[in-house]
Amino acid sequence: MRRHPVNGRRVWVTGASSGIGRAVAVELVRRGATVIASARNESPLHHLVEQCGGDRLAAVPCDVSDPVANRRAASEIVGQFGGLDVAVLNAGTCEYVEVDRFDSAVFERTMRSNFLSMVYGIEAVLPLLRQSPAPHLVGMSSTVAYAGLPRAEAYGASKAAIRYLLESLRIDLYRLGITVSVVCPGFVRTPLTDRNDFPMPFRIEAEDAARRIVDGIEAGKAEIHFPKRFSLAFKLLTLLPTRLYLRLCARLVREP
């Protein structure tokens, strides 16, 4: 497999104020990429610039849930760096569903933050990637996209939609030479997962996740999933008969 080192490439990372996005931005800089880091919260971005150096990382604040803001950020990237080679669309959130208080607003917020924000980002970056000699589109999904899990109706639906979107785009963009990767992590220690109230097997640190993601980008992997002992086991579970899978997952449901 031909490798495409990130050294010297221009990379946009969304959701870079904390967690996986921040760790990916730092790892990319460490490997020689020029990074454009975006998030709604400007203060953490300024700290990131101080940490990585303004010559290697630029902060472009952006609310990715706003399509106009995405296009504005893309224009700023072109103005500052002349173009873009890799887009790592990572921004997102997580809300869980309580079926005894089923609320459609949770789905609206989650789909807007996770799925639609990625659609807006793709709309903004595709014209830039078409001009790159080595274009790569990377989107953050989740292992939860593989199959249904309790309380994950909204979050899982948004991540499954992302996975399907990117897998379809991979086909349509193949003739243009644009590589498309979908990232499906298991549990990673971030401010979002710190709020979880259930066991998280094989949870890894954000820095470890970032190394695996950038390794996958450089290898041009179609799917970047980790940690393997969790993601592969989960994939195998989805092959079980539906009734058996249902009984196993039902044990995870909390009693009211």
Inter-residue contact 49 to 99 (CB < 8 Å) = no
Contacts (Cβ under 8 Å, ≥6 apart) of 88: 11, 12, 13, 14, 21, 24, 138, 140, 213, 217
DSSP secondary structure letter of residue 118? H
Inter-residue contact 14 to 230 (CB < 8 Å) = no
Contacts (Cβ under 8 Å, ≥6 apart) of 252: 149, 150, 198
Contacts (Cβ under 8 Å, ≥6 apart) of 144: 152, 155, 156, 159, 160
Is 245 one of the catalytic residues? no
SS3 86: strand
Q: From the candidates 120, 146, 155, 245, give the one annotated as an active-site residue.
A: 155
Between CA 177 and CA 134 the distance in angstroms is 8
Active site residues: 155
